Every structure is written in C-alpha cells, then in structure tokens.
C-alpha cells in the first residue's frame, strides 16, 4: 500500500504486493465465482482468473460468445454453463454482460441473489442510473465494483506478458462485512497491477466522459480532422496518415506513456516544442466547454438514455456494423491498413 502526493492531494494506492496470490486464493477459497457474459471484460477477466488456478465458471446462453468460450477451452457443463444456472450457484456474481443486457436480465439475476452474495460490476452504469435501468439490489447482498482502466483485450494481453492494468474499485453496499476484501481479492485475481478507490458514481461519470472524449470520440475526431485538412491541401494519403496517426501512435504517444508530456516535449525538435506549447492552450479553450457539456449530459443521464434506447433496438447490431464499416472503409483507415504491414516486424 502506497500513499502518493499529487500537488498536496494524498491518495492511497493498493499494490499487487498487498494482495499476493496466496492471500487472494485464501480470501476467495470459500467463494463460488461466476462470470455472466463473455464480451471483452468477461473473457479477459475469466481467462486471467482461470489461468491462475482460481475456480471460476462462465454463464452464457448458446450463441457466438458460447462458441468462443468453448474455443478458449471452457468445458461445457463444468465451468461453462447456462446463465441462469451460473447465477444460481454463484456467491460472487460478476455481472459483465452489456449495459442493455444487464437491464433485460436483471429480474433473473436478482431472483438468484441469496443473502451474503456479492454482486460485482466493472462499470457503475446499472447502479448509478437505477431510475433508467431498474437495477436495485436487495439490501442483504454486497455490491462491489472493479473497473480495469482499459479494455478487456488490454487486460488479457498485459496479463499474458506478465504485467497488469490499473483498476479502480468501489464498495456500494457492504452487507457481509467482507465486501472490501472480496472486492480487492477479485481485483488482483483478474490481473490488476494496482488499484485506487472510487465510487460507483465517479467511475461511471469519468468513464462515460472519457469514452466520448480523449479515449475514443475526441481522438477519432482529431484524427479525421487533421487527415482531411492535409488531404484537402494536396498531401498524399500515406503522408497524411503518417503525420496524423503513425507518428502519434508509434513515436510520440509512447514517450508520453513512458515519462509524461514534458518528457515528450523535451525529446522533440525546438520547432515542434514551440508549436505544441503555443497551440495547446487554444485547443484546451475550444475543447473544455465541449467536455464539460459531455460530463453534464452524463451526470444528467442523457447519454445513458441514448445508449439504452440505441442498444434496445432490434436492428442495433446491424446499425452498429454499418457505422463501423463506414469508419473501416474511410480513406483514413484504408490508408492505415495499407501502411501498417510496412512497419518493421509488421
């Protein structure tokens, strides 16, 4: 456990060494852990736990995810069972299906929660926006959260490299008196490197804001804007892609990841430094009101309602595939497909 001081604000970080495997296995020994869902988080968390020898069962309906679980070595009737059968036997139920799926399956899951069970989330959506989701657990269960700060794919890849991903954790309801220990034990069982405490509300507000901003929406918009300006001014697609995406991801962003923004600046040319320092305030002034608008829409539940309404439509999957195909077939990412194989080792 480590206390860090960030400009006078102290925070406690819980490290993997605080919860070594033997301690985690002892804490989880009397638990029956089941994971409902096999999307990116369900798959990543489940495989990481299984590979370390934890007793975990996947609960799924027959279909594409079920077939993938079989391909990954889960055994039908043993550690791969139907969703309702899994929910009935779990003492820690990791509820990792989609937000829309959580809403539709909630009556079934709630009916199988027994006194002292733990209901585990990796996103605060269902609990925080209970007026829209109707997900309200009974008072005699623990309600906990572990939210890896990255996709389930990243969680899995880093685990396979012997590394880990940072996660937040929260206890919303502690009936058993052991909710915090159950939460932290599971956090390290799934492959977290270190964890920091939050609340369900803070997790979902920050997560939904980030996804719409610097994590996904903003970065795609910035890539598209710069690429289109360069192309409109006569630059080739390969030059526009390299200056927009390739240099960012392969050269500059790794420097930020390694030691911070100032270190990236220090390792660029004087011309690049000056341009970045002069223009960063302009971008901040333009973007801050947009991100503030996003944050307030998230808090008010407006973005939640859009997600619920969209994901509940019968043709949602078809519509999503059309939107993703449009991105995939854009000139920007067509250039990316052509150029990525030319990287050394690509």
Pairing mode, strands 192-197 and 56-59? unpaired
Coil, helix or strand for 76? strand
Tokens for 135?
């997900």
Coil, helix or strand for 139? coil
Give the span between the Cα atoms of 125 and 89, in whole angstroms: 25
Coil, helix or strand for 75? coil
Structural contact between residues 195 and 167, judged by C-beta atoms closer than 8 angstroms: yes
**Residue with the two structure tokens 């069972």:** 81
Give the span between the Cα atoms of 134 and 132, in whole angstroms: 6
Smallest Cα–Cα separation from 167: which of 178, 158, 179?
A: 158
Active-site residue 123, yes or no?
yes
- Give the N- to C-terminal CA distance of the chain in Å, as an integer: 40
Strand ranges (E), the chain: 2-6, 9-15, 33-36, 56-59, 80-81, 92-95, 118-121, 142-148, 165-173, 192-197
Phi-psi region of 194 (alpha: psi -120 to 50; beta: other; left: phi over 0): beta
CA angle 151, 155, 160 (to 5 degrees): 145
Structural contact between residues 25 and 208, judged by C-beta atoms closer than 8 angstroms: no
Marked catalytic residue, from 123, 175, 202, 235: 123
Structural contact between residues 154 and 130, judged by C-beta atoms closer than 8 angstroms: no
User: 149-168: string of b/e by CB count within 10 Å (b at 16+)?
Assistant: bbebeebbebbeeeebbebb
Give the CA distances from residue 289 to residues 70, 214, 231, in Å, rounded to whole numbers and listed in that order. 47, 14, 28
Structural contact between residues 86 and 36, judged by C-beta atoms closer than 8 angstroms: yes
Coil, helix or strand for 178? coil
Active site residues: 123
């Amino acid at each position: 456990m480590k206390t860090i001081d960030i400009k006078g604000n102290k925070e406690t970080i819980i490290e993997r060494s605080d919860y070594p495997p033997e301690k985690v296995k002892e804490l989880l020994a009397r638990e029956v852990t089941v994971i409902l869902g096999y999307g990116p988080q369900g798959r990543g968390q489940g495989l990481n736990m299984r590979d370390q020898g934890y007793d975990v069962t996947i609960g799924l309906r027959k279909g594409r995810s079920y077939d993938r679980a079989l391909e990954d070595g889960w055994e039908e009737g043993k550690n791969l069972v139907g969703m309702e059968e899994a929910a009935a036997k779990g003492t820690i139920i990791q509820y990792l299906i989609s937000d829309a799926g959580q809403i539709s399956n909630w009556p079934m899951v709630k009916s199988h929660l027994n006194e002292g069970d733990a209901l585990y989330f990796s996103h605060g959506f269902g609990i925080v926006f209970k007026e829209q989701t109707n997900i309200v657990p009974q008072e005699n269960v623990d309600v906990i959260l572990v939210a890896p700060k990255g996709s389930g794919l990243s969680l899995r890849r880093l685990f396979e490299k012997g590394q880990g991903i940072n996660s937040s954790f929260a206890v919303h309801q502690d009936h058993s008196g052991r909710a915090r220990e159950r939460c932290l034990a599971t956090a390290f069982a799934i492959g977290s490197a270190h964890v920091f405490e939050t609340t369900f509300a803070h997790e979902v507000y920050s997560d939904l804001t980030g996804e719409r901003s610097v994590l996904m929406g903003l970065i795609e918009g910035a890539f598209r804007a710069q690429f289109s300006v360069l192309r409109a001014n006569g630059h080739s697609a390969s030059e526009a892609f390299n200056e927009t995406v390739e240099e960012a991801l392969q050269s500059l962003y790794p420097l930020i990841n390694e030691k911070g923004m100032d270190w990236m600046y220090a390792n660029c040319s004087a011309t690049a430094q000056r341009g970045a320092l002069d223009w960063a305030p302009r971008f901040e002034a333009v973007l801050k009101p947009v991100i503030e608008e996003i944050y307030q829409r998230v808090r008010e539940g407006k973005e939640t309602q859009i997600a619920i309404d969209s994901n509940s439509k019968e043709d949602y999957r078809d519509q999503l595939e059309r939107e993703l195909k449009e991105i995939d077939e854009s000139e920007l990412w067509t250039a990316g497909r052509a150029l990525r194989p030319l990287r050394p080792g690509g």
